[in-house]
Amino acid sequence: MKQQRVGQSDLRMSPLGLGTVKIGRNQQVKYPTAFDLPDDAAVTALLHLAWELGINTLDTAPAYGESERRLGELLPQRHDWVIIGKVGEQFINGQSFFDFSAVATRQSVEESLRRLRRDMLDVVLVHSDGNDMAIIREQAVCDTLLELKAEGKVKAVGMSTKSVAGGLWCVENMDLVMASYHPDYQDELPVLDAAARLGKGVLIKKGLASGHADRAAGGGGIEAALRLIFAHPAVASLVVGTINPDHLRQNVALTEAILAAQGAVETRRK
């Protein structure tokens, strides 16, 4: 897959990114079927396969259980990946805890660097609890992330938002935004449109509706979701979490076919 520049940053991401919650946590998740955490051999094989298929982007978070630690121990070509991390949420003993203070933000970044065995994080997003504007107005996390970027510990910062207002603020004031968008949920389309106007990068989460877009789960189909997402010019990367190698291959093949068809149409228009 051809990597794409993310907004005005120097980052280049594969259009499909691999979400890693399923290698670290299987409690209180919203997928249509339950799953067991894969063993180290399966995780290593999945990461090698993703790299071979052209994926260079991984999404993780402290709230994803053992995901960061396992990536730090098992990731091949460790420093060649673009890793999207987060701050603000911890998942402990089956429950989420949120802290958006300056102290917690700095500590979270330092701990992520240690677990991932890196000197710098490519992207760090605020892991919103749903109260985007309260976090932005009342908490220190956004300013602290900008400070950490200036200190060279983070390349790009943003927020994984849950509201249009939060997404629009993020587009205007930070490097990139992670927004939800799929055929059955397009409320945050104004965020994508604003990002396109301002030249900011957009990462898409829940693009396959946490697996519910699959026809087998009663959805409208994976291909329809991918076509909608990649039709928007602001989309830099769609993060899809899977531990199934066949699903990963299928997602990559569909993505490449859709992007190739879009490229052919654009060429004919020119």
Q: What is the pLDDT of residues 240-264, one digit of tens each?
A: 999 999 999 999 999 999 999 987 5
pLDDT band at 183; cut points 50, 70, 90: very high
The contacts of residue 222 (CB under 8 Å, 6+ apart) are 208, 213, 214, 215, 250, 251, 254
Q: What per-residue confidence (pLDDT) applies to 217?
A: 72
**Average confidence score pLDDT of the chain:** 93
What is the chain's length?
270
Q: What per-residue confidence (pLDDT) applies to 212?
A: 74
Give the DSSP per-residue string, 170-219. HHHHSSEEEEE-BTTB-TTHHHHHHHHHHT-EEEEESTTGGGTTSGGGTS
Q: What SS3 state is found at 120?
A: coil
Q: What per-residue confidence (pLDDT) applies to 268?
A: 47
Q: What is the pLDDT of residues 209-234, one digit of tens each?
A: 877 777 777 778 899 999 999 999 99
Dist CA 249 CA 204 (whole Å):
19
Counted domains in the chain: 1
Q: What per-residue confidence (pLDDT) applies to 266?
A: 58
pLDDT at 269 over 70: no
252-268 burial by CB neighbour count: b if 16+ within 10 A, else e?
A: bebbbebbeeeeeeeee
Range of the domain at 78: 4-269
CATH of the domain at 65: 3.20.20.100
pLDDT at 174 over 90: yes
Q: What is the pLDDT of residues 72-121, one digit of tens each?
A: 999 988 789 999 999 999 998 888 999 999 999 999 999 999 999 999 99
